[in-house]
Amino acid sequence: MDYFDYSWLVFFFRFLHVLSGVMWIGLLWYFNFVQAPNMGKIPDDQKPAISKVIAPAALFWFRWAAMSTLVTGLILAWMNGYLVDSIALGLTSGVAKHAAIGFGMWFGAIMAYNVWMVIWPNQKVALGMVEAPPEAKPAAARKALLFSRTNTMLSIPMLYAMVSAQNLY
């Protein structure tokens, strides 16, 4: 048996897509359901460990997991022959599976955009990783939090669309 045939490559990219997605959404939910709600309980003298060590490392994995999930998902859709039909939400093919996977793809793309273009730049300001006036930090932290919460809400229909596309159609 040839271990590097097309079916194996499709499986490999699906595995990478799921692995990346688990890391991305896992970290998203960690930030929103664990870290943010508990920051007020951490003594002030221990908060620098979060903002200087844990948060930057978690944000590194968070943003690259988002990128990896997006890229492997696009590759997977192309390899399976439904990239264009899914981006068009099934309107070009009339296939329900393409619509479902397409909605998941669009939610994921919006979420990845939020990670790279809104959350990450604002977190760098909030965490003091870039030069910014002190009064900019609270506003940046608030904006990053709001977009992170938005991504958390978008992750639910995104996951539903992705799982339903693989299991209902």
Q: Where are the domains of the chain?
A: 6-39+46-167
What does pTM read for this prediction?
A: 0.90
What's the pLDDT band for 169 if we cut at 50, 70, 90?
confident
In this prediction, residues 127-137 reach a mean pLDDT of 93
Residue 23: partners with Cβ closer than 8 Å, 6 or more residues away: 61, 65
Q: How far apart are CA 55 and CA 16, in angstroms?
A: 24
pLDDT at 3: 62
What's the pLDDT band for 2 if we cut at 50, 70, 90?
low
Q: How far apart are CA 6 and CA 70, in angstroms?
A: 21
